[in-house]
């Protein structure tokens, strides 16, 4: 399996999953999720998948500054309505990494590890995603603005040619290179310029 080289330079998200530990699925329950994992889940690499991954990466780091984030103990709220636009893509990435689901997740073991009712959708949410630690009730609100990272001016033209069957191999290669270059810039080159904005919350208030 061959991915763009820059995938290897995107930091992984390390999670501790107590259920995985108990069942012997991973030593100490420690599991790493890479951007490539998110791409395999979604079936494509795009600004939406990159944005979801980055919001989770940065939000979890802020919620757990001195420890490994605990999978299955994080409540996720996503702005929008499931089924609209790219909301489902963002939700799938968030569910994979945090374990949070609406009703389709693991029902628990001995009264613990229930992954259901941890994923919510709210059209009136202030940001694009809120992550909340169940154990402390502290949360972080994240907003994603991919427009800061501009696309190649011929992107739409190339895509239109490809989708209409008029694009030759040179056009396809130019489009693919420009498309993944933007994803790379979102994930790596523009980490500190406002693509992701965070607000730490406590009991729903900014702190």
Q: Where are the chain's structural domains?
A: 8-144+194-206, 150-189
H or E element that contains 156: helix 155-163
Longest dimension (CA), the chain: 58
Q: What is the pLDDT of residue 194?
A: 86
The structure's pTM equals: 0.94
pLDDT, residue 142, reads 97
Looking at the DSSP bridge assignments, the partners of residue 32 are 14
pLDDT at 67: 97
Q: Which residues pair with 13 in a beta bridge?
A: 33
Q: What CATH number was assigned to the domain covering residues 8-144+194-206?
A: 3.30.1330.20
pLDDT along the chain (207 residues), means of 10: 94 97 96 98 98 97 97 98 96 98 91 93 96 95 95 95 93 97 94 86 60
Q: What confidence score (pLDDT) does residue 201 get? A: 82
CA distances from 35 to 69, 78, 97, 164, 167 (A): 17, 20, 11, 30, 29
Tell me how far apart the alpha carbons of residues 102 and 121 are, in angstroms, rounded to a whole number.
Answer: 9
């Amino acid at each position: 399996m061959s991915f763009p080289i820059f995938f290897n330079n995107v930091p992984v998200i390390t999670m501790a999953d107590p259920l995985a530990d108990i069942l012997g699925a991973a030593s100490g329950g420690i599991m790493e999720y890479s951007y490539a994992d998110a791409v395999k889940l979604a079936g494509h690499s795009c600004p939406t998948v990159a944005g979801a991954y980055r919001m989770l990466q940065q939000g979890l780091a802020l919620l757990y500054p001195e420890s490994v984030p605990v999978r299955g103990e994080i409540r996720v709220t996503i702005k929008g309505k499931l089924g609209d636009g790219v909301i489902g893509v963002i939700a799938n990435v968030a569910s994979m990494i945090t374990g949070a689901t609406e009703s389709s997740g693991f029902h628990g073991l001995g009264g613990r590890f229930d992954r259901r009712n941890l994923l919510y959708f709210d059209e009136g949410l202030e940001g694009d995603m809120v992550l909340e630690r169940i154990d402390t009730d502290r949360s972080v609100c994240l907003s994603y603005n991919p427009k800061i990272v501009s696309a190649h001016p011929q992107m739409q033209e190339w895509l239109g040619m490809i989708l209409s069957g008029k694009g030759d191999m040179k056009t396809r290669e130019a489009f693919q290179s420009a498309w993944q270059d933007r994803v790379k810039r979102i994930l790596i080159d523009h980490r500190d310029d406002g693509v992701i904005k965070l607000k730490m919350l406590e009991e729903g208030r900014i702190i």
